[in-house]
Chains A and B, each alone.
Chain A
């Protein structure tokens, strides 16, 4: 295994994060803090409790997931798209690194950045809301699993995209609506019965529900189903990436 190669890609990508600290860390923390102020403190005080949890605490896992998904996707997609756009991808393609090593380098860096960001958001939330984490180990595992899976997904988008618009279209037009409609700000039991069934087709429901369970021990859907869903999605992403490298799609021809 080319460990030096993995390290080089990982450090290059992380250096990009530190170089763009305001954009990559400060901005998501600020926007999440605003969510807490508006939805948690201002509106939340009028909403009352959901499943025995104060509204401000209830929205923490959903907000964290919202940032985690969008940041994982944008970090990983930009990380691989930009070398394609600028032409510097030639160096990675001509290097003695396997597709798996390339993925570990790029996706590992994107996921690391998302996890760091997630933990920072969690710390920021503490400034506004008191919360406890019922299953800290599971919470961290969920955080890691989600960051890796959606970084893999972002990596696919970055490989597929051939212009900047395509890079934005899935995070903006698909992920954002699915997260808002996936129970980030409400429990799905609050929906009319018909929409409760429809919402189960939204994969983000399972992520938010499982993540909320790791915080408060309450969930809209069974935790094992949530974990299975994310593992299935991860497997799908890995298979797609394997196919892309095998065929050279949008990379080699």
Chain B
């Protein structure tokens, strides 16, 4: 796959001595939705800020569509739109004035019909003359997205785009992001909502303590790291797991009314057949069984805690 952003050996140490990023190597593919996951302070925003030109890297290189972000910053920045995490907008300006400002700042000639379309797509057209201070938090968030799109970027960074946004609006934003991707825009998003990454991302990168851990196709990641659980609802509750079954990764649940067996779905022998045989041998009957997959959230928590 052709990469649109190439990051090599990137590092950032702040003047305070804090190392926010170290040895980051990553390629973002053209046209994909890439989700960057990580706990607070992991380095997600620093990484985005370096690519966008807000923070100067201490080491390594970043190229955007073949252009270096430092030596050829005009070319790289004109291709990028950034929606920051904080609701940082001019307060007293109208939505329309801010759209014109953003487009001009990125070197594009005025194009009212394009700006109108962006505002309509984000349901902001009716608010074009409203001062930004009069808008709700959700609308301000959409204004930030509209501003980031005002110069027709090829790459869009969304730093926690749905933080503090209600469910309906969140789903609306997901649709908008998919539509943007369909139009050829590459999207990189950071999020705390694992559900968001699970719903939208093509690939996922997990960053923790300034280091990039896993970078993987979302489905592959879920298959590779996702664990399955088999829950058996027992006919008679158990007080303890019988010692004969101690070799199995079993847990008692629901006050002894259920046995939970965790297994790796990727392995050829899951051990389920053996477990069921042993249960039968020891006269432990069950009246129901069901299996479940771990969510991306659980995978993420596991990854982060393994690194810690």
Contacts and interface: CB of A to CB of B under 8 A. Distances in A.
Interface in A204-253: 248, 252-253
A86 B90 CA distance: 8
B89 interface: yes
A252 B102 contact: no
Contact of A96 (B56, B73, B109): B73
Contacts of A16: 92
Given A252-B56, A253-B56, A96 B107 contact: yes
Given A8-B105, A97-B105, A87 B73 contact: no
A95 B88 CA distance: 15
A90 B82 contact: yes
A91 interface: yes
A7 B103 CA distance: 11
A11 B89 CA distance: 17
Given A8-B104, A12-B101, A252 B88 contact: no
B175 interface: no
Contact of A248 (B56, B90, B92, B107): B56
Contact of B106 (A5, A86, A93): A5
Nearest to B94: A15
Given A96-B77, A252-B56, A253-B55, A91 B91 contact: no
Q: How large is the interface on A (under 10, 10 to 19, 20 to 34, 35 or more residues)?
A: 20 to 34
Contact of B54 (A96, A97, A252): A252
Interface string A6-21: 0111011001100100
Interface string B81-124: 01010101111110001001111111111000000000000000
A2 B74 contact: yes
B53 interface: yes
Nearest to B144: A91
A24 to B, nearest CB: 13
Nearest to A6: B104
A165 interface: no
Given A8-B100, A253-B15, A93 B88 contact: no
B236 interface: no
- Name the 3 nearest CB pairs between A and B, nearest first: A8-B104, A87-B88, A96-B74
